[in-house]
């Protein structure tokens, strides 16, 4: 193993599921790619996204206090590059990339029609985290394609590897490691064998 401690950029924890964050203020809709996002709480349902103040999305979320988080199939991976390599400060991404949007139910920001899952979020908190701002949203509605989750995720999600590279899952290679298996292992361990 190589050890480093003087860090500039680091992404050794990738792949990361790419989310498209959609925000809206007045009539202006914008979309950006985000690899830094996470579930924070079941109850209340909280979801966090980490956005640099340099992004147009940052301004829109601060004023509108809402956003949607959209998850892409691998067939749509080029959208991650489209929305991640262009800024709403320079272009209107909805028109330029001819995107199909749908109306959300509980927030004004729309969602990407072809996503396999979408979280509608209302901003409940935010804080500065180094060179990014961590926005905490309460999920106030979810859209999902039931066929994509039957019986578990069976589509190919868009995962980011960094430096413009994307990858997806091998869905023929799922493993179940349940409590029964753990208990069996522990009982053998307790018995010394
Ligand atoms: C795959 C991918 C993931 C990204 N993840 C993030 C992220 O988590 N946070 C962030 O601030 N920027 C991230 N970016 C960069 C923004 O998407 C990019 O700067 C974009 O142009 C911002 O658009 P906007 O100015 O219209 O908001 C990512 C870019 C790519 C391509």
Q: Give me the pLDDT at residue 192, please.
A: 66
- For residue 3, being part of any structural domain is answered with no
**32, 96, 158, best to mutate for ligand 1 pocket (most atoms within 8 Å of CB):** 32
- For residue 131, being part of any structural domain is answered with yes
* Distance from the alpha carbon of residue 110 to the mean position of ligand 1, in angstroms: 18
- For residue 10, being part of any structural domain is answered with no
- For residue 126, being part of any structural domain is answered with yes
Determine the atom of ligand 1 nearest the C-alpha atom of 23. Answer: 27
- For residue 5, being part of any structural domain is answered with no
> CB under 6 Å to ligand 1: residues?
18, 30, 32-36, 50-52, 55-57, 80-81, 84-89, 132, 160
Q: Tell me: the pLDDT tens digits for 114-125? A: 999 999 999 999
- For residue 177, being part of any structural domain is answered with yes
- For residue 166, being part of any structural domain is answered with yes
- Which tokens hold the place of 124? 């409940």
- Give the span between the Cα atoms of 162 and 8, in whole angstroms: 14
Examine the pLDDT at 191 and tell me if it is beyond 90. Answer: no
- Which tokens hold the place of 143? 């859209």
For residue 41, give Cα distances in angstroms to 44, 48, 130, 140: 6, 10, 22, 13
- For residue 72, being part of any structural domain is answered with yes
Instruction: Please list, in sequence order, all residues whose beta carbon lies within 8 angstroms of the beta carbon of residue 144, skipping any fewer than 6 positions away.
Output: 116, 117, 118
- Going by the DSSP 8-state scheme, the letter that residue 145 receives in this structure is -
Instruction: Please list, in sequence order, all residues whose beta carbon lies within 8 angstroms of the beta carbon of residue 15, skipping any fewer than 6 positions away.
Output: 159, 160, 161, 167
Structural domain span for residue 31? 16-190
SS3 assignment, position 118:
strand
* Distance from the alpha carbon of residue 52 to the mean position of ligand 1, in angstroms: 8
Query: For position 171, which CATH number holds?
Result: 2.30.110.10
Total of domains in the chain:
1
* Distance from the alpha carbon of residue 169 to the mean position of ligand 1, in angstroms: 22
Q: Tell me: the pLDDT tens digits for 60-82? A: 999 999 999 999 999 999 999 99
SS3 assignment, position 23:
strand
Q: Tell me: the pLDDT tens digits for 142-173? A: 999 999 999 999 999 999 999 999 999 999 99
Banded pLDDT at 86 (limits 50, 70, 90):
very high
- Give the span between the Cα atoms of 134 and 48, in whole angstroms: 7
């Amino acid at each position: 193993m190589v050890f480093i401690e003087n860090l500039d950029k680091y992404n050794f924890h990738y792949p990361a599921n790419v989310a498209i964050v959609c925000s809206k203020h007045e009539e202006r809709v914008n979309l950006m790619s985000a690899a830094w996002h996470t579930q924070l709480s079941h109850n209340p349902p909280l979801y966090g996204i980490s956005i640099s103040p340099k992004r147009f999305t940052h301004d829109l979320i601060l004023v509108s206090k809402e956003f949607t988080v959209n998850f892409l199939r691998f067939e749509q991976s080029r959208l991650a590059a489209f929305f991640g390599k262009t800024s709403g400060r320079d272009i209107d991404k909805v028109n330029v990339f001819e995107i199909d949007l749908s109306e959300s139910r509980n927030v004004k920001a729309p969602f990407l029609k072809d996503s396999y899952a979408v979280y509608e979020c209302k901003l409940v908190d935010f804080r500065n985290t180094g060179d990014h701002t961590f926005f905490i949203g309460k999920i106030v509605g979810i859209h999902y394609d039931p066929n994509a989750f039957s019986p578990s995720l069976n589509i190919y999600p868009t995962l980011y590897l960094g430096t413009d590279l994307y990858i997806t899952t091998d869905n023929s290679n799922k493993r179940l490691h349940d409590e029964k298996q753990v208990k069996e292992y522990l009982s053998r361990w307790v018995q010394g064998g």
